[in-house]
Amino acid sequence: MAITLNLQALEQAKRLIREGRYVVDERDAWSEHQPSAERENDYLLEQGWEDYGKWYLGIDRAEHTEVKAKYKFPYGDVAMVHRCGLLSAESRAGQYKYADIEKAAHELHDMIDAGRRERASR
């Protein structure tokens, strides 16, 4: 597999986090918080493949353009970034030795944690 970091997804996630569009949840919550196949399909029909792909930190360059299998390492529910999604992506990327994706997911969850600390100190 030729899975590489999706730079458009990374930039979108950073922007969403800066805008406060994230959920502070725990690692184990991802199985409940990830979007359902139906929600993904609805989003795909409404927004198209390019926007759909921005919710995944990895792209499998070996896959055809318009298939879900092209996109790996989801980080949100197609509305909000989820800390649990980032933790899951970071862990799986590390397990499969995708260092650039692991590093990006870590950076993003650090951004959320920093934002949480900043709000708590106010």
pTM of the predicted model as reported, rounded to 2 decimal places? 0.93
Residue 17 · residue 111 · CB < 8 Å:
yes
* pLDDT tens across the length of the chain (122 residues): 589 999 999 999 999 999 999 999 987 899 999 999 999 999 999 999 999 999 999 999 999 889 999 999 999 999 999 999 999 999 999 999 999 999 999 999 999 999 777 777 76
Q: What residues contact 55, with CB distance under 8 A and at least 6 apart?
A: 9, 12, 71, 74, 75, 76, 78
Closest to 91 in 3D by CA, of 78, 76, 109: 109
Number of domains in the chain: 1
Digit-coded pLDDT (tens) for 20-40: 999 999 878 999 999 999 999
Domain that holds residue 10: 3-121
